[in-house]
């Protein structure tokens, strides 16, 4: 099944409602796993169906409760249409709201969640190593960012370890590289969280296939500072 056929058959809605024949269901599943638009339609239809089902169940419970209540005389019968009509109207309004507002909202939220994240990027390629000066990167608190970094590759080292140190003295190993990988510019993601201050990227080189920072040689220390913008 291709996308045009899925749209023509309203496959996303029928899939959620269980109205697709098995063959079409299998074909649609194969399609929507690779189709972002159909995947969003399935999520939106599922959200709409769940909300509508919950609302109808609530109406049924209220109707059953009213039916079980003691009869108050025939003179109360004329109240039933007055109560029922607003209830049905409220349900219709809710369904219209779901169709016009909630479903587009869920589709938008699903689209944002599945959209590729674009990081603000900064270059540390020309940053000083082992020096007192450092580049300042200004971001919002909690906002991840990426940096470009060149590794001082040397054929005498077969493995390279890239470690990040934060202002509190905590460190984390970001990645391990082979000599061939180290010859390419690296893109590293940094998430400062709530910690502003001085950071450092340390590059270690090892002559063995597996590198341990404690036993490796420090090849570069790239310093940078993080400041939070308001």
User: pLDDT digit string (tens) for 196-211?
Assistant: 999 999 999 988 755 5
- 31 and 105 assigned to the same domain: yes
Last residue of a domain, one of 114, 147, 178: 114
- 125 and 110 assigned to the same domain: no
Last residue of a domain, one of 91, 114, 137: 114
| pLDDT value, residue 157 | 92
Domain count, the chain: 2
- 9 and 99 assigned to the same domain: yes
| pLDDT value, residue 210 | 56
Which of 85, 14, 87, 99 has the alpha carbon at shortest distance from 51?
A: 99
Share of the chain above pLDDT 70, in %: 63
| pLDDT value, residue 21 | 87
Average pLDDT over residues 116-135: 71
- 131 and 199 assigned to the same domain: yes
Q: Quick check: 161 pLDDT over 60? A: yes
> Which two structure tokens, joined as six digits, stand for 104?
């587009």
| pLDDT value, residue 76 | 46
- 141 and 79 assigned to the same domain: no
Last residue of a domain, one of 99, 114, 129: 114
- 142 and 162 assigned to the same domain: yes
- 67 and 133 assigned to the same domain: no
- 37 and 83 assigned to the same domain: yes
- 43 and 68 assigned to the same domain: yes
Q: Quick check: 171 pLDDT over 70? A: yes
**Calculated CA dihedral for residues 178, 181, 187, 188, nearest 10 degrees:** 0
Residue 220: half-sphere exposure toward Cβ, Cα within 13 Å: 21
Q: How confident is the model at residue 11 (pLDDT cuts 50, 70, 90)?
A: confident
> For position 176, which CATH number holds?
2.60.40.10
* Between 91 and 134, the higher pLDDT residue: 134
CB 208 within 8 A of CB 159: yes
Q: Quick check: 138 pLDDT over 70? A: yes
* Between 156 and 84, the higher pLDDT residue: 156
Average pLDDT over residues 136-142: 91
- 125 and 68 assigned to the same domain: no
Tell me which residue range forms the domain holding 188. Answer: 121-228
- 138 and 219 assigned to the same domain: yes
| pLDDT value, residue 162 | 93
Cβ contacts of residue 109 below 8 Å, gap of 6+? none
- 188 and 165 assigned to the same domain: yes
Burial of residue 111, with CB atoms counted within 10 A of its CB: 0-12 exposed, 13-18 middle, 19 or more buried:
middle
């Amino acid at each position: 099944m291709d996308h045009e056929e899925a749209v023509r058959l309203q496959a996303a809605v029928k899939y959620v409602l269980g109205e697709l024949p098995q063959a079409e269901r299998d074909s649609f599943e194969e399609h929507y796993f690779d189709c972002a638009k159909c995947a969003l339609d399935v999520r939106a239809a599922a959200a709409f169906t769940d909300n509508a089902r919950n609302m109808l169940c609530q109406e049924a419970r209220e109707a059953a409760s009213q039916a079980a209540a003691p009869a108050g005389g025939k003179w109360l019968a004329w109240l039933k249409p007055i109560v029922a009509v607003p209830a049905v109207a409220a349900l219709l309004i809710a369904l219209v709201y779901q169709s016009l507002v909630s479903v587009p909202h869920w589709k938008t939220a699903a689209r944002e969640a599945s959209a590729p994240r674009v990081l603000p990027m900064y270059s540390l390629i020309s940053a000083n190593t082992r020096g007192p000066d450092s580049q300042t990167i200004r971001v919002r608190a909690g906002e991840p960012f990426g940096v470009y970094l060149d590794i001082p590759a040397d054929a005498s080292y077969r493995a390279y370890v890239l470690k990040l140190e934060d202002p509190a003295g905590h460190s984390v190993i970001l990645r391990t590289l082979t000599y061939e990988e180290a010859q390419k510019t690296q893109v590293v993601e940094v998430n400062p969280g709530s910690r502003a201050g001085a950071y450092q990227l340390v590059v270690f080189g090892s002559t063995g296939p597996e590198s341990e920072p404690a036993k490796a040689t420090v090849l570069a220390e790239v310093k940078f500072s993080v400041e939070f913008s308001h």
